[in-house]
Amino acid sequence: MAIDGVSGIYGSAVSNGFQTGKAGDLQDQFLKIMLTQLRYQDPMEPIKEQEFLAQMAQFSSATQIGELNQTVQATLQYLLGIQANQGLLSAANLIGKTFMADVEDGIVEGVVESVCYYGGRLMVKSGEYLVPVESLIFVGPAPEPPVAQVAEAEQPVAPEAAVEAPEAGDPGRQVEEDAG
């Protein structure tokens, strides 16, 4: 049985005093309403037991639904936090790779230097650009080093200099060296 607002003297509205809030507040409000209802009931027609028990059952259900709602909200916040962390960890694999992104200013190219959350969005940073991950249209391998650096790194080694040093405690190697 729902309790609606009542018109007071001169048509002014009288609130039923029922507000949403924590489960304890809801319980206090319900008990106040029930006591008020019992206090002002018609003594010739008191509330029947069935109505009273039905109201108690409705209150119990409303309290449990409120507690369930709080649990679901806490679980949702936890899951959103996990999802954000997983997104950040996944995006960390992009560091050092080349990318192309379609942003408002056009196509941006660069190498991913870092990843972060900014304004609630997962972003990659490259130089002065901060690009939303959802704007990426290409991600490729790390860029090749310039040819000059490759030439220095791949200097051929003379065959005479490529002799392996004998390992300590390897008698077979020592015998070959002594024989030769």
Q: Which residues, listed in sequence order, are joined to residue 123 by a DSSP beta bridge?
A: 116, 132
- How high is the pLDDT of residue 39? 82
The amino acid present at 40, given as its one-letter code, is Y
Give the chain's domain count. Answer: 2
Is position 2 within any domain?
no
Neighbour tally for 115: CB within 10 Å = 19
Is position 152 within any domain?
no
Distance CA 94, CA 75 (A): 30
Same domain, residue pair 106 and 48: no
Same domain, residue pair 66 and 106: no
Is position 45 within any domain?
yes
CATH number of the domain residue 120 falls in: 2.30.30.30
What does pLDDT average to in each consecutive run of 10 residues of the chain (180 residues)? 44 45 69 81 77 81 88 93 88 91 90 91 90 91 67 52 47 47
Is position 173 within any domain?
no
Same domain, residue pair 29 and 77: yes
Is position 118 within any domain?
yes
- How high is the pLDDT of residue 153? 53
Range of the domain at 63: 18-84
Tokens of 160: 């005479």
- How high is the pLDDT of residue 68? 93
CA atoms within 13 A on the CB side of 8: 5
